[in-house]
Amino acid sequence: MKRFRRHGHESQRDRLKQELYQFSKTVEHGFPHQPSALGYSPSLQLLAIGTRSGAIKLYGTPGVEFMGLHDENAAVTQVHFMPHQADMVTLLDDNSLHMWTLRRHKGLSELLEIGRFMLMGPPGAPPSVTRVTAVLPHSSGELLLLGTEGGHVFVVEVPGFRELEERNISLDQVSNSVPVDYIGRRNLEHVEALQENPTNPSQVVIGYGRGLMVIWDLENQCAIQHIPATQQLESMWWTEDGSYILSSHSDGSYCRWRVGGQEETEEEEEKEKSDIPYGHFPCKAITKIVQLPTEEGPPFLLFSGGMPRASYGDRHCITVIHSKTHVALDFTSRIIDFFVIRDGLEQTGDPSVLLVLVEEELVVIDLQTEGWPVIQTPYLVPLHSSAITCSQHVSAIPLKLWERIIAVGELQKTHYSKKPWPITGGQNLGPDPPQRDLLLTGHEDGTVRFWDASGVCLYPLYKLSTAAVFHTDADPNDNLNQSAEGEWPPFRKVGCFDPYSDDPRLGIQKIHLCKYSGYLTVAGTAGQILVLELNDEAAEQTVEAKVVDLLQGQEGFRWKGHTQLDVREEPVLFPPGFQPFTLVQCQPPAVVTALNLHSEWKLVAFGTSHGFGLYDYQQKNNVLIKCTLNPSDQLALEGPLSRVKSIKKSLRQSFRRIRRSRVSLRKHHVTNSSKLQEANARLEAELAEMELAPVQRKIEARSSDDSFTGLVRTLYFADTFLSDSSHNTPSLWAGTNGGCVFAYMLRVPAVEHRADEPVTAQPAKEIQLMHRAPVVGVVVLDGHGAPLPEPLEVAHDLARSPDMQGSHHLVVISEEQFKVFTLPKVSSKMKLKLTAVDGSRVRRVGVAWFGSNCKEDYSESGLIFLTNQGDVHVVSLPHVKMQVQYPCIRREDVSGIASCVFTKHGQGFYLISPSEFERFSLSTRFVVEPRCLVEVPLHLDSSNPHRAEPGGATSAHRTTQHSEDAESAARCVMEHALLNDEKVLQEIQKSLEGDQTSFLENNVKHAVA
Amino acid sequence: MVLAAGPKRTEPSRMSRQLPPQQKTPIRLTDTVVEVKSKFEAEYRRFGLKRNGSGGFQEFYRLLQTIHHIHGVDVLLGYADIHGDLLPINNDENFYKAVSSANPLLRIIITKREDEPVVYGTNSLQRRKKGLGLTGLRTTGSGTIHSKSKSGLMIGPPQNFRQISSIIDVDILPETHRRVRLHKHGTKKPLGFYIRDGVSVRVTPQGVEKVPGVFISRLVRGGLAESTGLLAVNDEILEVNGIDVAGKSLDQVTDMMVANSHNLIVTVKPANQRNNVVHRESKNFMGNSGSVGSAGSTGSVLSHESPSPASQSNPITASSSIAEGDSEDEDDDGDIILENDCPTAYNPHLVTKRNSVKLNGESSCSGPHPSAVGRPLPQSMSLPSSIGASLGYSSNTMSGHNGSLASSSQDSMKDDGTELTL
């Protein structure tokens, strides 16, 4: 009977689950890890970044983002947009070429891979013959010139990737025409660079590794001019008027060559200018050189590298020379690539912005404002400018606080250029974010960064530094712009990536912001807890420090970790923003592992591996100190760096790394064999690995003397029924690593006596979970089974007041189980076992609210949690029933799992690399994902008449397609033509368009295929 | 019934429950009455006992408690038999044996139970489930000497052996597999084994296939796993508490085992397949388990090749008294809850909107929570009602996850004994 009833209930429940939950990874925030290639489309105004893991990311105006991933796990070495099209060619490490396009689908653009290609040499030829080293998308948009390691240039028709063998420029053809004296001395080596003549699309210059440059006529298949440079070639640039070619070389020199001079003239005359800019002593190579004219006045010359090898060989510089201004921009990491955006619709005007992709950040420099200031990027911001150590998400920020944070943030951004963001491609069609969300990240250098996490772009709002409170080793005079007068080269540091922390103790470990009161508490590595208040004015104040002894007289401990931070005694001038007014320092100064703030009661609770405390930040005194230490727990006592353990761990890790690399090597070698074989080989390798190095795990019941049982994992404030079911009182709950929950009853004086009457705490309950798993969360549910609201939430009318008529429940979340207890008498009511059933453990947990996407008024609260297997689950409240489960993070990605934070509305963030957050959503209601449209500018069709021309009969159809990219439009038309059997039409076209027919034919074939 | 015969110092008030006034009772014939001399610590009592009375052990136990004024003290009874050995009395059987062998005097030695390890065996009488730590005596005659000589041999009835492992589900498992249950209980012994990744060979229709598997890699000397003799190095682990481990990582399996360590049931494919269970055979090997050996689940062969002497000295008593279902839920609910109720510290300022309205009507949306209704003093919360409450509650609202339903009622029951007050 019951079973029948439940059955109906279940299917209803299943339907409800579909309305409430849906999992998707929506957008990646931050800066891509290990970028390896940069591309830019002036016509689309899009920026493309390829990474070493094979990802390709496109960015336009803020909110316009696309992401693609190559199936091959190879690094992207080059990215080129096809001129005037929405197509893009990528070259990977494994020598494969890929064609990507932005296609319109249901009103939005999406990035699709539409073709792949690998150059095939003649049978028996060495692989170097077809190893692509240079790619030139021809301005016609139909041809791709591929220079190879063997010195050949292959011509390939796109988008179909059809080799045009008859147009290939073989090494033999070129060397036959090279003057004898040159060829006699050396062979030409690989094709280093390919450039098209900006004024004559039929001319290209081929630069060979040895230095020889050959201007080749594509139409007539012959060499026009030879430029016999003698230094190893690094890059070439054909000036805009087509009259000069600039070449840069490995010895740090660059040369300017006149184009179109007489074949017979002497070399010395052609070589108009040669220079080693940072000369005299040996210099490093100039890897890229660009020269751009200005309307009036001298051109801009930009080049990367060329630094004197001995003294500045380790700098990553781009030199910009304009008129008398000469600056060597000194970047924070290796330069990947750079380009210049020019004024005007056609991007033919003055250079306006220099955009540099370095390994760890994207730097954009305004070349039109005095001093060439940096432009704040709206996306691609390096999250890891100092390593992220923790994060907190705060949903639905009240407008007032939001505006104040933005205002104080603006004051920090005065050194940025006022120029608007120059990359404006595409339209952001996404709806405005429903609310204002903040993501707070704590960093190793003691800063807390505030990010606008409401939408697709994670935009930096404000940066708080806590280091000013303490004396640190950092030299206060260590100025960033300390360039001395007359220094050569004229360095200027740019970029914000700075992974070197002055003092690791400053690292932020826990953050808690109360969005209603503007109080913030942050806690760090050396047991420091700061309480800060938002102040719109600068203020000079002394921060009162209070030392709290968490050992409480426990004997026989010797703290072997770091010392506590040294507090500045004198008043410190704090800039507008969050200003610290009180400081608690735990003794021993262990890492703060749990933190909570109750702004209504004005209390801060904090915990370390030794115990926890409660601090009254109004009266500035301690209310409670509790030592949770187990006397036999030596590890906790000695400090965070137990040497034995860490060495063992690091050894194990390095062995694993070695093993993994071996496996991947093996994998690499079998790429050519069939899929099945490859899979077999991989399994074989893995199995062999297992047999070689068995990893053992001990099976042992947890006991009370395991290490770190006293570590406080969670702290929670609740106004609930702790002593009897008729009177609710404030309470503090603490959960430890050893499966113990402590509850304290608090007495908080009424508001009018808050300043003078003491706050007291009395121990009320203690629960020792039998299974002893670490307690990672404590939540109290009200009479309706809903989690208690945050402090001040009700006072601000933002939450329904909790049902206080008794029958509250306590949910204790351990790593292994969810248990519901009754209150005030704690007795177990129900539970959900996790680990015992599927072997996974809770790593991160949060309370989230889920709204139905069908019924506007239906919503539920649930617990959202992430396991050590990388799966996200939702558990219902108050019945702790498993609702849904989705794989989210690879289980090996320990740092990703550890970094995960949940929002109150069923979204989450985790680090996919040190510099990137992946955003995911479990909610059907709250999904933040890019929705954008990129259209190919219409005027371009005139430059490619043959594309738009065919099928005049279908012009109406065509105009609707115009808004898509031209390529797919053309194909559509073509298909349409075929379907209507309009061969006649094509015949006419063929006769009309002469030599372009081959392209058309191919395209048709492609479309059929 | 039991008849007490003329004790020298009697307290009528105490005896009144079971005994008629003894002073008036005439002394019976010696063949129907046994003369009893009982000793507790330094005190002796003498009384008579009807030889073929129908009273059992429990009655006798209570009688002794009354006579010695030791109500509420947990004691162990022993008697000196005709050979002068000290033998335990802890059930009807050996009580009758003791009475019948009295010649003519029955010497009873009462010892306080001290520092006995917690024992789990089930018995209808809860107080008597603990082990008997009597030491055998080589007495010369009187049998009144009671010493705790360490070299002595432990003597006790089978139920006082601690069950540490059992082979279960023999009837439903393939012969090549073995399902072993390890009982951690109160022992100090570590579970004591390690697992590793490995390669398992499976025979499939496509031929022999190699798949990853989890194996026992090491047994800790003196650990529970080793002492059972049921698990060995290189045994493949197939299931943990009924859950297939295929496709699970080593760490996952480790966590599952640790989480189930209170009541760990592993299904293994022994590396040594020679000792596999053959149904209905060789029960003889269960010699040690004597009386209990329950059918069906005990037809297993202990690996007699096992080098560990422990496997001999810890016989497996395979008593299937604990049903799998309830022990599964019971296993880890011994959460210790310390409550320090301080009813005074209550601040009227902070109590928000608390009305003295009945709850029943209002909390309809999330199901009734009658456990807190109409109970002004939570300290005196009566347990049965909370069980009823949680049962009713869960049956109404649970959406069909198995297991927890039963567990919730179990939880409440278990909490009965664990509440302590600071």
Write down the ipTM of this complex.
0.75
Higher pLDDT, B327 or A189: A189
The predicted pLDDT at position A655 comes to 63
DSSP of A12-48: HHHHHHHHHEEEEEEEEEE--SSEEEEEEETTTTEEE
Q: Which A-chain residues 815-874 have CB contacts (< 8 A) with chain B?
A: 816-817, 819, 822, 824-833, 835-841, 868-869
Task: Give the nearest chain A residue to B194 (CA atoms).
Answer: A698
Contact A699 B351 (CB under 8 A): no
Angle between helices A675-692 and A643-669 (to 10 degrees): 150
Q: What single DSSP character describes residue A790?
A: P
pLDDT digits (tens, 9 = 90+) for A347-397: 788 899 999 999 999 999 999 988 899 999 999 998 888 899 999 999 989
pLDDT at A742: 95
Beta pairing partners, A687:
none
- Using alpha carbons only, give the angle A627, A630, A634 rounded to the nearest 5 degrees: 115
- Enumerate residues 6+ apart whose C-beta is below 8 A from B264: B181, B182, B184, B191, B240, B241, B257
Rounded to whole angstroms, the Cα distance separating A157 from A87 reads: 13
Residues of A in Cβ contact (< 8 Å) with B206: none
Determine contact, residues A355/A341, Cβ cutoff 8 Å: yes
A309: Cβ–Cβ under 8 A, 6 or more apart, which residues?
A: A252, A281, A282, A283, A284
Query: Which of the residue ranges A208-222, A398-412, A872-886, B139-153 would you say has the lowest mean pLDDT?
Result: B139-153
Rounded distance between C-alpha atoms, residue B88 and residue B76, angstroms: 8
Inter-chain residue contact A826 with B337, CB threshold 8 Å: yes
Using the beta-carbon criterion (under 8 Å), do B337 and A2 form an inter-chain contact? no
User: What per-residue string of b and e applies to A311-328 under the rule 16 or more CB within 10 Å gives b?
Assistant: ebeebbbbbbbbeeeebb
In chain A, which residue's Cα lies nearest the Cα of B260? A836
Q: Which of B190, B362, B412 sits opposite A827 (nearest CB)?
A: B412
Q: Residue B221 carries which DSSP code?
A: T
**Given an 8 Å threshold on Cβ–Cβ distance, is B340 in contact with A764?**
yes
Cα end-to-end distance, chain A, whole Å: 60
Residues A694, B398: C-beta atoms closer than 8 Å:
no
Query: Does position A490 have pLDDT exceeding 70, yes or no?
Result: yes
How near does any CA of chain B get to the CA of A832, in Å? 7
Residues 167-226 of B with CB under 8 A from A: 184, 190-199, 210, 212, 217-218, 225
Inter-chain residue contact A697 with B401, CB threshold 8 Å: no
Residues β-bridged to residue B37 = B46, B107
Q: By CB neighbour count within 10 A (0-12 exposed, 13-18 middle, 19+ buried), where does B59 fall?
A: middle
| Chain A contacts in chain B segment 242-281 (CB below 8 A) | 243, 245, 248-262
**CA dist., res. A593 & res. A809, Å (int):** 25
**CB B259 to CB A816 under 8 A?**
yes
User: What does the pLDDT read at residue A176?
Assistant: 78
Residues A96, A117 contacting (CB under 8 angstroms): yes
Which pair of structure tokens corresponds to residue B312? 């001999």
**Rounded CA gap, A945 and A963, in Å?**
16
Q: Which distant-in-sequence residues (6+ apart) come within 8 Å of B381 by Cβ? A: A825, B371, B375
Contact B195, B250 (CB under 8 A): yes
Lateral strand order in the sheet of B33-40: B43-50, B33-40, B105-112, B75-80, B86-89
**Cα–Cα dist B148/B131, whole Å:** 15
A interface test, pick of B187, B188, B197 with most A CB neighbours within 10 Å: B197
Residues A705/A636, Cβ–Cβ less than 8 Å = no
Backbone φ, ψ for residue B83 (5° rounding): -85, 0
Q: Do A728 and B352 touch (CB under 8 A)?
A: yes
Other CB atoms within a 10 A radius of the CB of residue A12 amount to 11
**Hey, what amino acid is at A793?**
E
Buried b (16+ CB within 10 A) or exposed e, A585-597: bbebbbbbbbbbb
Chain B residues with CB under 8 Å of A687 CB are 199, 210, 212
> Confidence class of residue B99 from pLDDT cuts 50, 70 and 90?
confident
Length of chain A (residues): 1009
Helices (H) then strands (E): counts for chain B: 9, 14
pLDDT digit string (tens) for B287-306? 333 333 333 333 333 333 33
The rounded distance, in Å, linking the Cα atoms of A759 and A617 is: 11
Nearest beta carbon to residue B365 from set A683, A686, A784 = A784
Q: Which of B389, B374, B341 is nearest to A805 (CA)?
A: B374
Contacts of B350 in chain A (CB under 8 A): 719, 728-730, 748, 750
Three-class DSSP labels, A425-494:
CCEECCCCCCCCCEEEEEECCCEEEEEECCCCCCEEEEEEECHHHEECCCCCCCCCCCCCCCCCCCEEEC
Averaged over A558-569, what is the pLDDT?
85
Residue A995 above 90 pLDDT?
A: no
Phi, psi of B201 (to 5 degrees): -100, 125
> Do A700 and B261 lie within an 8 Å CB cutoff?
yes
In the predicted structure, residue A809 carries a pLDDT above the cut 80: yes
How many A/B residue pairs have CB atoms within 8 Å?
A: 276
Q: Give strand pairing partners of A105.
A: A108
Residues 6+ apart with CB under 8 A from A782: A788, A802, A803, A804, A808
Instruction: Read off the tokens for A347.
Output: 């991007």
Domain ranges of chain A: 435-477+486-627, 708-839, 846-877+885-934
Provide, for chain B, the percentages of residues in helix, strand and coil under a 3-state DSSP scheme, each rounded to the nearest 5.
Answer: 25, 20, 50
Choose among B252, B363, B395: nearest Cβ to A783. Answer: B363
B389 → chain A, closest CA residue? A829
The confidence band for A561, taking pLDDT boundaries of 50, 70 and 90, is confident
Would you call B194 and A698 a contact, using CB atoms and an 8 Å cutoff? yes
% residues pLDDT > 70 (chain A): 81
Say what the pLDDT of residue A124 is: 79
Separation in Å, CA of A919 to nearest CA in chain B: 26
- From the candidates B199, B327, B328, B340, which should be mutated to test the interface with A, based on the most A CB atoms within 10 A? B340
Listed range (A476-480, A703-707, A868-872, B115-119) with the worst mean pLDDT: B115-119
Q: In this complex, which of B262, B335, B403 lies closest to A768 when CB atoms are compared?
A: B335
Cβ contacts of A324 within 8 Å, gap of 6 or more? none
Interface list for A 693-752 with B (CB within 8 A): 694-702, 719, 721, 723-730, 745, 747-750
pLDDT at B276 over 90: no
Q: Name chain B contacts of A770, Cβ cutoff 8 Å.
A: 262, 332-336
**Residue A134 one-letter amino acid:** A
* Least reliable range by pLDDT among A3-12, A312-321, A488-497: A3-12
pLDDT (average), residues B361-390: 37
Helices marked H in A74-226 — which ranges? 171-177, 180-185
Residue A827 · residue A804 · CB < 8 Å: no
Neighboring chain B residues of A838 at a CB cutoff of 8 Å: 243, 248, 252, 256
- The contacts of residue B339 (CB under 8 Å, 6+ apart) are A764, A765, A825, A826, B419, B420, B421, B422
In three-state secondary structure terms, A553 is coil
Q: What torsion do the CA atoms of B183, B185, B190, B192 make, to the nearest 10 degrees?
A: 10
Q: Which string of b and e fits A943-956 if b means at least 16 CB within 10 Å?
A: ebebbbebbeebee
| Amino acid code (one letter) for A943 | S
Beta bridge partners, B78, equal B88, B109
Interface check A792 vs B, CB under 8 A: no
**Given CA atoms A888, A890, A891, A896 in this order, what sign does their dihedral have?**
negative
Measured between beta carbons, which residues in chain B are less than 8 angstroms from residue A683? 210
Bridge partner list, B200: B211
CA distance A328 to A492: 6
Structure tokens at A313: 């060989």
Pairwise CB contact (< 8 Å): A723 & B257: no
pTM for this entry: 0.73
Mean pLDDT of A223-232: 85
Compute φ and ψ for A445, nearest 5 degrees. Answer: -90, 10
3-state DSSP: chain A helix, strand, coil percent, rounded to 5?
Answer: 20, 40, 40
B395 in reach of chain A (CB within 8 A): yes
Q: Is A566 on the interface with B (CB under 8 A)?
A: no
Query: Could you report how far apart the first and last alpha carbons of chain B are, in Å?
Result: 45
CB A824 within 8 A of CB A725: yes
Mean pLDDT (whole number) for A498-504? 81
Residue B347 Cα distances to A727, A746, B272, angstroms: 9, 9, 69
Shortest CA gap B139–chain A (Å): 43
Chain A contact present for B46, CB below 8 A: no
What's the whole-number mean pLDDT along residues A403-416?
Answer: 92
Judge contact between A171 and A180, C-beta under 8 A.
no
User: What was the pLDDT predicted at A280?
Assistant: 81
Which of B192, B225, B357 is the closest to A805 by Cβ? B357
> Is the confidence at residue A663, as pLDDT, over 90?
no
Name the residue among A750, A763, A822 with its Cβ closest to that of B340. A763
Residues in chain B: 422
Q: Are strands B419-421 and B336-339 parallel, antiparallel or unpaired?
A: parallel
Comparing CA positions, the residue from A47, A242, A33 lying closest to residue A934 is A47
* Closest residue on chain A to B348 (Cα): A727
Give B381's contacts in chain A (Cβ within 8 Å). 825
Q: Is the pLDDT of residue A270 over 70?
A: no
Residues of B in contact with A750 (CB under 8 A): 347, 349-350
A983: tokens are 């061969």
Within 493-552 of A, beta carbons closer than 8 Å to B belong to none
Is A694 in Cβ contact with B217 (below 8 Å)?
Answer: yes
Q: Do B366 and A785 touch (CB under 8 A)?
A: yes
